[in-house]
Amino acid sequence: MGCESNRPRLIKKEIYFQKIDSEQQNVDNYQNFKTPVKLEFILQNIKIGDIYKIHITVPNAVETFFTEEMKATSKIITFNTCYICDYFFERQQYLNISIIRNGKNKGYVRIPLGIIIGSPKSTYSTEIASSKENLTIKANPLNDTNSYLIVDFHAKNLDKSFGEIKNKISYRISSNSGNTIYNSESVNIAGFFDPIKIPLALLQPNFIISFLDCYQESIFYKQETPDSFVSNPPDTLYLGLINKNSNSRINIINNSKISRQFNFIDYLKSGVTIKLTIGIDFTASNKAPDDPYSLHYLGDEMNDYELAIKACGSIVAYYDYDQSFPVYGFGAIVKGEQKPNMCFNINFRNDPKIYTIDNVINEYRNCFENIILAGPTEFCPLVQRVNETIKEENNPLKYHILMILTDGIIVDQQKTIDALVEGSFLPLSVIIIGIGNDHFQEMIQLDGDEIPLISSNGIKRMRDLVQFVPFNKFRNDPNELAAQVLEEVPRQIMEYYTMNNIFPYNLAMSQINKFGFSNMNNMNNFNNMNRFNNVGYQRNNAYEENENTYVDYLKKYKNDTYKNYLNKSQANGNNNRFSKITSNRNMNTRNSNYQIVFDEERESRGTGSGSIYY
């Protein structure tokens, strides 16, 4: 049963497209991870004959939301009306949900939006304690916002006898109601139209394609669905430019296709889970935990280390199914050892995993009984430990985040860079939170925003994976601290999977069965790497048999990718293809060199020769 929203939406009035230089880094898809989502509500264990509806409020928001009222004819109700909201990975967003039965409030629950999105298949269930109903919430991206029709026409055999000026045609794409969506430029004998990209949401359920002569009179008219349009090219056209009785032949070659750029939620719904690992600085420069001036001071209130773990870890925890977090310390002498240990389990058990963020903080407080703060500060052993864990797990559906909390200067800068460059080829992001008043110049260098990281043997990082944030800048606003720390994570996750040509699991299977894989024969050639939104697939039935085969393929591909890195790391960095991966990683690989640009960007970026209208 489809959902209908009773909430008004603001709609852009005009979109323009422009040509993109092939050398330009195409990061537009990653710059804004505000994702409109719709939430569907299902009530179970309800009383037959009663009338139900759901009421939602959002903290600090004036507007409220109600579903329609529905009378229970069975033990389950699926509401038709969906709640629409904007989702941000890096922010705490809460929904206050009330169950209204027979006009009275019978139950209440407060749910973080992140826990809904991060649940398996973005479906979350909970029991309403006071009323005993079971509430299930399903989240989906709104209106398939990342799907496009790439329109690419070529006109052939235009009759030269009528002269070049009059021998021009154009085309128009309109909605069923007749509203113009796109007017093309006119082409002459050369016959090549500029390819353009139109959101599929504008073309549903079908649209009208018209070809126009030089007088802007229609010479061809057809109603199409997006699927039929790409599978059935337009008929051969006959055009009389001057004499209406003449039959000047025009061939229209249709190279159009449907393109889907999967979004962050698509990957979460496909089964990707985010695994958080925490590294804590226990060097003596932090001062002893019984010193009120210590950064590790264990008083009645949380210290800065605890506040950072709580603010950031609580958000990432929504996306970890088993709620277990490996936690390591570095820079301290562990009881029974003689030298500082640069990577030890703070729970002092064989398994470094600690369940729930609250227990992480408890174990952090307890670990001081078994260590002596020492030094120096080294990151490399910690980063290498996480790299090895990722390789041992060999699970492409697990993306790892290493959160390092430190108070200052490290002594193994180049070794750390080497480990981070290695990590850039793995499903890993590294978050560094600077605690205290140090200048953190080394951390800024590791961030690599200004100068990309290059290993000691000349290998350039495959992608940006490090984000550094000083705690003191946001110490009075934990929510903003988390936002700053985590804002780049969705982009980094998307970059890893797209650069490795890995599809969202459940969406990929449906597309594979229809089209086959794209560029599977070039898995190891990063210079020719194509993004998965190209639909010029080549059939490869070997990977279409079942879901397990697809997972096996992902594992094999990730291993091949990493082996490639290891082989190249032994060669001269100036001669290996990985040294150029950064400049190539964001290349525009669509057959079309055009993209849509919203109207607020017109002044800074310019416009093309055609316009798309809402």
pLDDT over 50 (residue 387): yes
pLDDT over 70 (residue 34): yes
Query: In the structure, what pLDDT confidence band is assigned to residue 555 with cuts at 50, 70 and 90?
Result: very low
Three-state secondary structure readout of 43-103 = EECCCCCCEEEEEEECCCCCCEEECCCEECCCCEEECCECEEEEECCCCCCEEEEEEEECC
pLDDT over 50 (residue 245): no
**Tell me, what's the pLDDT at 613?**
32
> Of 425 and 582, which is predicted with more confidence?
425
**Tell me, what's the pLDDT at 517?**
31
Structure tokens at 68: 């329609």
* Percent of residues, the chain, with pLDDT higher than 90: 45
Give the CATH number for residue 87.
2.60.40.150
Q: State the DSSP H helix or E strand holding residue 250, giving kind and residue range, or none if neither.
A: strand 248-254
Give the number of other CB atoms < 10 A from CB of residue 414: 11
Q: Quick: pLDDT tens for 170-196.
A: 889 998 878 889 988 887 655 778 888
Structure tokens at 609: 């020769």
pLDDT over 60 (residue 570): no
Average pLDDT over residues 462-480: 92
Structural domain ending residue among the three candidates 475, 497, 519: 497
In a domain, 560, yes or no: yes
In a domain, 610, yes or no: no
Same domain, 237 and 360: no
Same domain, 427 and 411: yes
Residues 6+ apart with CB under 8 A from 392: none
In a domain, 387, yes or no: yes
DSSP string, 19-44: E--TTS---GGGS---EEEEEEEEEE
Find residue 56's DSSP bridge partners: 65, 97
In a domain, 174, yes or no: yes
Same domain, 341 and 483: yes
Pick from 50-54, 185-189, 502-506, 609-613: least confident:
609-613
**Tell me, what's the pLDDT at 293?**
94
Q: Quick: pLDDT tens for 356-365.
A: 999 999 999 9
pLDDT over 70 (residue 403): yes
**Tell me, what's the pLDDT at 110?**
94
Residues 6+ apart with CB under 8 A from 482: 90, 91, 92, 311, 312, 314, 315
Same domain, 355 and 288: yes
Pick from 124-128, 204-208, 448-452, 519-523: least confident:
519-523
Average pLDDT over residues 292-299: 96
> What SS3 state is found at 107?
strand
Dihedral in degrees, nearest 10, Cα atoms 97, 101, 106, 111: -20
Structural domain ending residue among the three candidates 497, 514, 540: 497
For residue 504, give its domain range: 500-585
Give the CATH number for residue 468.
3.40.50.410
pLDDT over 90 (residue 301): yes
Q: Quick: pLDDT tens for 48-66.
A: 999 999 999 998 877 789 9
Q: Which of 26-35, 498-507, 529-538 has the highest mean pLDDT?
A: 498-507
**Tell me, what's the pLDDT at 230?**
81
Whether this model's pTM surpasses 0.75:
no
Query: In the structure, what pLDDT confidence band is assigned to residue 223 with cuts at 50, 70 and 90?
Result: confident
Pick from 97-106, 269-278, 367-376, 530-539: least confident:
530-539
Find residue 325's DSSP bridge partners: 354
> Of 506 and 60, which is predicted with more confidence?
60
**How many domains are contained in the chain?**
4
Q: Quick: pLDDT tens for 429-439.
A: 999 999 998 88
**Tell me, what's the pLDDT at 61?**
79
* Cα gap 29→375, rounded to integer Å: 42
Residues 6+ apart with CB under 8 A from 358: none
Give the CATH number for residue 188.
2.60.40
Structural domain ending residue among the three candidates 225, 260, 295: 260
pLDDT over 80 (residue 208): yes
Average pLDDT over residues 159-165: 46
**Tell me, what's the pLDDT at 354?**
97
pLDDT over 90 (residue 336): yes
Same domain, 388 and 415: yes
Same domain, 421 and 288: yes
Q: Which of 120-129, 163-172, 337-346, 567-576 has the highest mean pLDDT?
A: 337-346
Q: Quick: pLDDT tens for 575-601.
A: 332 222 222 323 232 222 222 222 222
Same domain, 548 and 532: yes
Average pLDDT over residues 128-155: 81
- CA angle in degrees (0–180, nearest 5) for 586-592-596: 80
Query: In the structure, what pLDDT confidence band is assigned to residue 319 with cuts at 50, 70 and 90?
Result: very high
**Tell me, what's the pLDDT at 255?**
80
DSSP string, 429-466: EEEEEE-SS---HHHHHHH-SSS--B-TTSPBPSS--E
Return the closest-CA partner of residue 324 out of 289, 290, 349, 294.
349
Same domain, 289 and 402: yes
**Tell me, what's the pLDDT at 146?**
63
Pick from 5-14, 321-330, 392-401, 556-565: least confident:
5-14
Same domain, 201 and 69: no
In a domain, 542, yes or no: yes
- Helical segments of 317-368, H only: 357-366
Same domain, 169 and 272: no
Same domain, 440 and 515: no
Q: Quick: pLDDT tens for 268-290.
A: 888 899 999 999 999 999 999 99
pLDDT over 70 (residue 465): yes
Strand order in the sheet with 237-239: 153-156, 248-254, 237-239
Mean pLDDT of the chain, nearest integer: 75
Q: Quick: pLDDT tens for 71-95.
A: 999 999 999 999 999 999 999 999 9
Question: 51 to each of 57, 72, 225, how far by Cα in Å?
Answer: 20, 6, 40
Same domain, 167 and 306: no
> Of 409 and 213, which is predicted with more confidence?
409
In a domain, 7, yes or no: no
In a domain, 607, yes or no: no
DSSP string, 400-429: EEEEEEE-S--S-HHHHHHHHHHHTTSSEE
Pick from 12-21, 112-121, 453-462, 498-507: least confident:
12-21
**Tell me, what's the pLDDT at 203?**
84
> Of 515 and 126, which is predicted with more confidence?
126
In a domain, 273, yes or no: yes
pLDDT over 50 (residue 298): yes
